[in-house]
Amino acid sequence: MRQFGEKNDYPVLPWSGFKCDPEFVAEARMVAASVLDAEGLWVESMDDVQPHFTIHDLSLATERQ
């Protein structure tokens, strides 16, 4: 993601950390999911950290139901 952000002049992606602005975070998350060809996204909030995950195979989740 860092390389994509630097190459395409998208400043939010190359930063390892930045002040949390919900609009920037949501936009960066959607761009990352698209670039990584993800099928879904997962965000978890805990204490002062908010990890963001991309999901690449949703069929594993639907097979268990």
Q: Are 56 and 42 in contact (CB under 8 A)?
A: no
Q: Provide CB contacts within 8 A for 60, sequence distance 6+.
A: none
Structure confidence at residue 10 (pLDDT)? 77
Chain centroid, CA 65 distance in Å: 26
**Which residue bears the tokens 């390389």?**
3
Q: Where are the domains of the chain?
A: 2-63
Query: Quick check: pTM over 0.85?
Result: no
Write the single-letter amino acid at 30. Answer: M
Sequence-distant (6+) residues with CB within 8 A of 31 are: 4, 10, 13
The first and second tokens of residue 3, run together, are: 């390389």
Q: Does the pLDDT at position 61 exceed 80?
A: no
pLDDT above 60 for 12:
yes
pLDDT at res. 52? 80
Q: Above 60 in pLDDT, residue 65?
A: no
Q: What is the pLDDT of residues 16-57, one digit of tens each?
A: 666 667 777 788 888 888 888 988 888 888 888 878 888 888
